[in-house]
Chain A
């Protein structure tokens, strides 16, 4: 099922040129998608994507692959719904199989206050074009027969919101699909090329420093994940971001047939079944800011215990693999995209624990901003200067973490 080697071999890798129109720092989903849409929608191909490690080695390869749009503020719902729709047509557009699978997502509520929050979510989602409906415990059970409606006796299910369009896709394949599409159009993807500094001409950012020498650029976009504050500091840009670790794991394989994605904001966990049959689980991010990719036994224990309350068939689960990503958590739990106030330097960041689902829309909209020089309407609410304008996009309750 892993065709990484074939895909990587099929790609034609390049040596860096001394100058590009656009240099994108970070070869994850967002960086590569931006390059792909620059090349395919705007004909801008003199572009380099610089990746410190191998492509998809950061958070793009470490998430729990969930695609959904059931957010809690109108601007976010419209943005993520657009992304969800782009994901739906991505296989046709790129010709790459990303194992996209529409599953639906049950967001369980165990208290009256959670029920109120989910009812509000449903109404707002419907008003903004995302399909989310309230379901009774019995309906939730018919969608997911494995569900214990008593929540192990401690967390009875009072109801759930059901987000019909939620999906999963294989995260590495999404990265490779965008990389391949961009490279075929002439974009250079430079792996193992860390950015060690930014070239400045007065205030303006005019390129990047790498161990292989400087590369000048008409424009530099940081699409960096957890290490974004370090890169932004090179341009004297301050970000409302803290880097927290987020852990996830997969279990041994179970018989296929676990249909939906189960999510729970009161227990802070989410679970789905991969195409291999393994149960893929994640929970809240670690409370302490950290750049360490270390994992903890405590997380495995607490996350397994929580999920077992809801899905008793997992009580004998065995853990196959565990991993950690370092997430750029923004102060208001919404992404930050666009201009930074420093000429020639843009960011797409603040993707925290919610970046994977946003890759197509984030890439498409950032490409439009770069190509036209104007912030698209969809990105306008997510500009960095919203904090100075006292217009934060607070939506912590929709992130599924904490």
Chain B
């Protein structure tokens, strides 16, 4: 079972957490302010590799944490 290491609570199964999404990153090539808003609100990098995401420890300390992990690999493998 995938696990996440919460700095407050320790290693916990992924079902204790709520996924909050990766940090939005609007590409610089989009310059129109309205288009940037649309991209910020809806679009995702959906990276196949290293990502930086926010997770909420809903069943534990109820704090947000930043998780850097590799989406190419199984489970919650962190980025080294």
Residues of A within 8 A of B (CB): 227, 229-230, 236, 238-243, 286-292, 294, 296-298, 331, 387-388, 392
A296 to B51, CA, bound (A): 21
List the A side residues contacting B43 at CB < 8 Å. Answer: 238-240, 387
Residues of B within 8 A of A (CB): 1-2, 13-15, 17-19, 22, 27, 29-30, 34-35, 38-39, 41-46, 48, 51, 53, 69, 71-76
Q: A290-B71, A292-B74, A296-B75 are in contact. Are A238 and B39 (CB under 8 A)?
A: yes
Question: How many residue pairs bridge A and B at CB < 8 Å?
Answer: 77
Q: A296-B2, A298-B13, A388-B38 are in contact. Are A291 and B45 (CB under 8 A)?
A: no
- Give chain B nearest CB distance to A240 CB in angstroms: 4
A229 to B74, CA, bound (A): 19
Our pick among B17, B46, B76 for the contact of A239 (Cβ within 8 Å) is B46
A240 with B76: CB separation less than 8 A: no
Our pick among A242, A243, A297 for the contact of B1 (Cβ within 8 Å) is A297
A200 to B34, CA, bound (A): 26
Q: A238-B39, A297-B1 are in contact. Are A290 and B46 (CB under 8 A)?
A: no
Secondary structure of the A contact surface, majority rule: loop
B48 with A291: CB separation less than 8 A: yes
B1 with A238: CB separation less than 8 A: no
Our pick among B13, B35, B69, B71 for the contact of A388 (Cβ within 8 Å) is B35
Q: A296-B2, A297-B1, A388-B38 are in contact. Are A287 and B46 (CB under 8 A)?
A: no
Our pick among A239, A287, A291 for the contact of B19 (Cβ within 8 Å) is A287
A343 to B76, CA, bound (A): 38
A236 to B27, CA, bound (A): 10
List the B side residues contacting A240 at CB < 8 Å. Answer: 42-44
List the A side residues contacting B74 at CB < 8 Å. Answer: 290, 292, 294
- Give chain B nearest CB distance to A386 CB in angstroms: 10
A387 with B42: CB separation less than 8 A: yes
A184 to B49, CA, bound (A): 40
